[in-house]
């Protein structure tokens, strides 16, 4: 039944996205201006789905009687809320603020769904408070432009079973070559070094990101799409090798089987984002105390590069009547220590704010991870995330197409590189259909 819902939702979403996008392309707007405070008390609406948002909003409402925020919710972005935002923007009744993941921001920008809040008080100057790469995601590198405030991020590191590596006498890999060598040894022991997540294309993008690759570029007028650049193919070939040698499993991520596989010690590592800490803890309770975290394996020994998987921003949606107050709320939400602490406690968010990473909660030893202060590793990874990765304007479609290709690889036909080539073609076709200019 769920599947049917999703299919219906997706097909309708595609249809209406096509209808709504019409002929809109990246419109150039006048430099930000005219963002003045409103007179008198203001009521705002904020739609988000991160757990605990309601409580954090209540905290703001307590402290700001003149700017009351009404919290609204729905399914996660790609599951329907983004499409709702687009419908509501068209109808002129969108919420003032919305949660938008970084990989969806370009879609909203291209379809002119975001307010430029750079001139709303001191928003432009607030950039220093956020990790560089997150700020460049919300400004698109444009001057005098801020389209959203970064909320959380997902710097990637390597979770690994410290006990198993030690017992087997295998050194913990620090490069991808060592990782492949360890994979072979672990396979000989009857386990897997990790699972290849065929549907998490954004995870794969995180791997390409770490390697310094790009899938999209935008020169201000045209988009270029190339999922098969040298750096991207290097990553694809690497994982293809692991798949060919059957050194990685191919379970559906976050499924019961997948959890069980972690819980029973079949999986020795998980290259994943900071929010994955909670996923392992709840999915593999029997392995408590046996895990540890290290930085991602590197392509060249001695490098310091990390990728990112996930993370959201708080955007002021087009048509908000109170962009000034909305921007102030968004800034508070993502910089105020009490708000960040509550968001981490209830929603497990890892803040994009630089100071946020130094909150007491991130300095504590983690019992599940053998008493390691794992967030110190993630803070280091966060600083190593390559700052200029660009998402395309139709990531939902790109993910679906590449994921179909990856699925076929698991089923035994084609290679990951083929899937990326098909993904490039289909993405160019989709952008052309949306009248978004693509450089050939």
Residues in touch with other proteins (CB under 8 A): 1-2, 5, 8-9, 12, 16, 45, 47, 49-51, 72-76, 79-80, 84, 87-88, 90-93, 95, 254, 256-257, 259-260, 263, 275, 278-279, 282-283, 285-286, 347-348
Shortest separation between residue 73's beta carbon and other proteins, angstroms:
5
Kindly tell me which of 88 and 353 has the beta carbon lying closer to other proteins.
88
Q: How far is the CB of 80 from other proteins (least distance, A)?
A: 5
Residue number with CB closer to other proteins (7 or 189) = 7
Q: In what order do the strands lie in the sheet with 269-273?
A: 269-273, 156-161, 291-295
Per the CB < 8 A criterion, the answer to whether 18 and 434 are in contact is yes
Is the Cα torsion angle 318, 320, 321, 327 positive or negative in sign? Answer: negative
Min CB(242)–other proteins separation in Å:
24
Q: Which of 54, 132 has the CB closer to other proteins?
A: 54
Nearer to other proteins, 41 or 51 (CB): 51
HSE toward the beta carbon, residue 84, CA cutoff 13 A: 18
- For residues 88 and 95, what is the distance between their CA atoms, to the nearest angstrom? 8
Whole-number minimum distance, CB 98 to other proteins, in Å? Answer: 10
β-strand partners of 270: 159
| Nearer Cβ to other proteins (279/400) | 279
- Contact residues for 310 (Cβ-Cβ < 8 A; gap 6+): 101, 152, 153, 154, 202, 273, 275
Give the residue with the Cβ less far from other proteins, 90 or 129.
90
Closest contact distance (angstroms) between CB of 414 and other proteins is: 27
Length of the chain: 440
17 Cβ neighbours under 8 A, 6+ residues apart? 83, 86, 434
CB of 204 to other proteins, least distance (A): 16
| 159 and 274 Cβ atoms separated by less than 8 Å | no
- Nearest approach, Cβ of 235 to other proteins (angstroms)? 23
CB of 86 to other proteins, least distance (A): 10
Q: What is the nearest approach in angstroms of other proteins to the Cβ of residue 75?
A: 4
* Listed residue (180, 85, 150) closest to 335, CA to CA: 150
> Could you give the 3-state DSSP secondary structure of residue 224?
strand
Please provide the distance, in angstroms rounded to a whole number, between the alpha carbons at the two ends of the chain.
Answer: 41
38: left (phi over 0), alpha (psi -120 to 50) or beta: beta
The C-alpha angle 318, 324, 328, rounded to 5 degrees, equals 110
* Residue 326 Rama label (left phi>0; alpha psi -120 to 50; beta): alpha
**What is the Cα–Cα distance from 317 to 311, expressed in whole angstroms?**
18
- Comparing CB distances to other proteins, the nearer of 61 and 72 is 72
CB nearer to other proteins: pick between 90 and 185? 90
Nearer to other proteins, 24 or 90 (CB): 90
């Amino acid at each position: 039944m769920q599947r049917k819902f999703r299919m219906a939702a997706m097909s309708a979403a595609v249809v209406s996205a096509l209808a709504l996008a019409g002929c809109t392309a990246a419109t150039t707007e006048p430099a930000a201006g005219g963002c003045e405070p409103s007179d008198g008390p203001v009521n705002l609406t904020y739609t988000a789905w991160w757990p605990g948002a309601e409580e954090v909003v209540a905290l703001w409402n307590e402290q700001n009687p003149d700017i009351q925020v009404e919290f609204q919710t729905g399914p996660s972005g790609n599951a329907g809320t983004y499409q709702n935002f687009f419908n509501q923007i068209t109808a002129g009744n969108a919420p003032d603020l919305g949660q938008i993941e970084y990989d969806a921001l370009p879609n909203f920008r291209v379809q002119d769904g975001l307010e430029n809040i750079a001139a709303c008080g001191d928003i432009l100057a607030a950039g220093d408070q956020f990790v560089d790469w997150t700020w460049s995601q919300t400004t698109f590198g444009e001057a005098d432009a801020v389209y959203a405030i970064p909320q959380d991020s997902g710097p990637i590191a390597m979770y690994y079973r410290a006990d198993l590596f030690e017992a087997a006498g295998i050194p913990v890999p620090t490069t991808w070559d060592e990782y492949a060598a360890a994979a072979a040894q672990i396979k000989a022991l009857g386990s897997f070094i990790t699972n290849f997540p065929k549907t998490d294309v954004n995870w794969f993008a995180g791997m390409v990101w770490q390697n310094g690759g790009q899938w999209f570029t935008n020169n201000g007028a045209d988009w270029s799409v190339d999922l098969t650049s040298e750096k991207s193919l290097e990553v694809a070939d690497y994982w293809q090798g692991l798949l060919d040698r059957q050194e990685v499993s191919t379970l559906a991520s976050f499924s019961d089987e997948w959890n069980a596989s972690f819980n029973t010690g079949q999986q020795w590592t998980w290259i994943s984002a900071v929010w994955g800490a909670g996923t392992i803890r709840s999915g593999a309770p029997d392995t408590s105390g046996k895990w540890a975290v290290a930085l991602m394996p590197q392509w060249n020994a001695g490098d310091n590069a990390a990728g990112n998987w996930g993370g959201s921003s708080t955007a002021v949606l087009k048509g908000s009547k109170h962009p000034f107050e909305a921007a102030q709320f968004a800034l508070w939400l993502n910089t105020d220590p009490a708000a960040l602490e509550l968001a981490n406690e209830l929603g497990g968010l890892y803040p994009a704010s630089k100071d946020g990473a130094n909150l007491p909660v991130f300095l504590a030893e983690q019992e599940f991870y053998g008493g390691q202060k794992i967030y110190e590793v993630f803070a280091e990874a966060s600083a190593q995330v390559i700052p200029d990765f660009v998402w395309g304007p139709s990531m939902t479609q790109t993910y679906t197409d590449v994921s179909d290709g990856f699925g076929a690889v698991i089923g035994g036909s084609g290679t990951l590189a083929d899937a990326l080539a098909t993904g490039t073609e289909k993405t160019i076709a989709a952008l052309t259909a949306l009248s978004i200019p693509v450089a050939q």
